[in-house]
Amino acid sequence: MLKKNYLLAPGPTPVPINVLLAGAKDTIHHRTPEFVSIMESTLEKAKMLFQTKEKVYCLIASGTGAMETCVVNTVAPGDKVIVVDGGKFGERWAKVCKSYRINHVAHQMEWGTAPSGELVAELLAKDSAIDTVIVTHCETSTAAAADLQAIAEVTRRRDCLLVVDGITSVGALPVRMDEWGVDVVVTSSQKALMTPPGLGFVAVSERAWKRIDSFASPALYLCLKAYRQGFPTQDHPYTPAITLLRGLQVALRMMREEGMENIWRRTATLARATRAAVEAMGLRVFARNPSDSLTAVLLPEGFDEPTFRRRLREEYGILVAGGQDQLKGRIFRINHMGYVDATDTLGAIAAFEMLLSDMGHSFPLGAGVAAAMQAAKES
């Protein structure tokens, strides 16, 4: 039977054909008025993703490169950092800090949990030297989401900088940088932004700029000062990823038309429907603080996860992600960010049902989809 491709891993996510085709347009030079105007209007639109009035900076880098940008620019010599580490990507912040020999405390959390305001307040109370807090808004490896607003309240009170990995949150979950008082938020193109991988984004508060301006960054390519210099003419310090930016222009236009509040609502609805389906199929959502941007589904003990994902791909054309490290073989992860709709998601849930049932997991066939539809209707 014909099988289409359903890319439902939490990034790279599907890219709309109009975004892809925009990247296939005639090559233009980056120092032309035509490209400068694309860059300007696109980065202006990118502010809505972070709900900020501040400028958003765009680099050629993967998410990790964008995370490193935050650290090398905002952690000055003498600063002390807390990294809240609840999974693979929290761990990565600690790795970046270690690479640059930054004075940091990595607070390890149980995988599947995510930091609250209280936790960050406790951590800060223990050590008066801390002036920078780094958290992961949504931890992609566990699909757990932190309470960013509450954390920002705490860091504001203490006058700490709050640096946030928003890679699987920005554009999918509400992030209100200015209102909440978040200082640095990083994201990348291949998640909620419906654009191919290759672009990293950093939004920076005025407070963070004061820190950045107070010392020389130990890196050149990722130094934000060089990017700021280009404004307002957007004269990029290095050759920008022209074709990806052309795609982004179209993607952000689509996002503006749908509206951020509507996008957040859609994402939340798909997540809620998926979680309802998971329970109805007799499985469990892994995260204790589940994110709306993706769902990690805990499989029954001893279930043959590699075969499940292989057959899902081969028989249904659906690609979901497996677990990483300690979660390998125990969970699979399905994406709700970006170019995903109800039909995609309900179809995928039906495929999960067919295959789970075929592989001997017992539950009333149809219960997952029914629960998902009910949850979607109630949203």
Q: Does 125 bind its own copies (CB under 8 A)?
A: no
Q: How far apart are the first and last CA of the chain?
A: 34
Q: Does 325 bind its own copies (CB under 8 A)?
A: no
Q: Which of 217, 249, 295, 345 binds its own copies (CB under 8 A)?
A: 217
Q: Does 53 bind its own copies (CB under 8 A)?
A: no
For the chain, the C-alpha Rg in angstroms (whole number) is: 21
Q: Per-residue x/- mask for its own copies, residues 139 to 178, rule CB under 8 A?
A: ----------------------------------------
Residue 128's DSSP bridge partners are: none
Q: Which residues does 154 contact at the CB level (< 8 Å), separation at least 6?
A: 117, 120, 121, 124
Q: Provide, rounded to whole angstroms, the least separation between the CB of residue 46 and its own copies.
A: 18
Task: Name which of 13, 9, 15 is nearest 251 in CA terms.
Answer: 15
Q: Does 187 bind its own copies (CB under 8 A)?
A: no
**What residues numbered 86-105 form the site for its own copies, per CB under 8 A?**
95-96, 99-101
Contact status, residue 134 vs residue 86, Cβ threshold 8 Å: no
Q: Which of 75, 170, 192, 241 binds its own copies (CB under 8 A)?
A: 241
By beta-carbon proximity to its own copies, the closer residue of 171 and 196 is 196
Q: Does 274 bind its own copies (CB under 8 A)?
A: no
Q: Which of 188, 269, 295, 345 binds its own copies (CB under 8 A)?
A: 188
Tokens for 267? 């994402």
Residue 82's DSSP bridge partners are: 105, 133
By beta-carbon proximity to its own copies, the closer residue of 16 and 282 is 16
Q: Which of 214, 233, 239, 262 binds its own copies (CB under 8 A)?
A: 239
Residue 155 CB neighbours (<10 A): 26
Number of amino acids touching its own copies (CB under 8 A): 56
Q: Does 112 bind its own copies (CB under 8 A)?
A: no
In whole angstroms, what is the distance from residue 233 CA to residue 187 CA? 23
Residue 83's DSSP bridge partners are: 106, 134
Which 8-state DSSP code applies to residue 327?
Answer: G
Q: Which residues of 339-356 are buried (b: 16+ CB within 10 A; e: fewer)?
A: bbeeebbbbbbbbbbbbb
Residue 6's DSSP bridge partners are: 318
Q: Which of 215, 221, 303, 363 binds its own copies (CB under 8 A)?
A: 221
H-only helix segments in the chain: 17-22, 33-50, 63-74, 88-99, 117-126, 148-158, 177-180, 206-213, 224-229, 242-258, 260-280, 305-316, 342-358, 367-378
Q: Does 12 bind its own copies (CB under 8 A)?
A: yes
Q: Provide, rounded to whole angstroms, the least separation between the CB of residue 280 and its own copies.
A: 27
**What residues numbered 302-321 form the site for its own copies, per CB under 8 A?**
313, 319
Q: Which of 36, 150, 219, 359 binds its own copies (CB under 8 A)?
A: 219
By beta-carbon proximity to its own copies, the closer residue of 28 and 125 is 28
**What residues numbered 23-52 form the site for its own copies, per CB under 8 A?**
23-30, 32
Q: Does 70 bind its own copies (CB under 8 A)?
A: no
Residue 92: phi, psi to the nearest 5? -65, -35
Which stretches of the chain bind its own copies, using CB under 8 A?
5, 7, 9, 11-15, 17, 20-21, 23-30, 32, 60-65, 67-68, 95-96, 99-101, 188, 190, 196-198, 216-223, 237-244, 313, 319
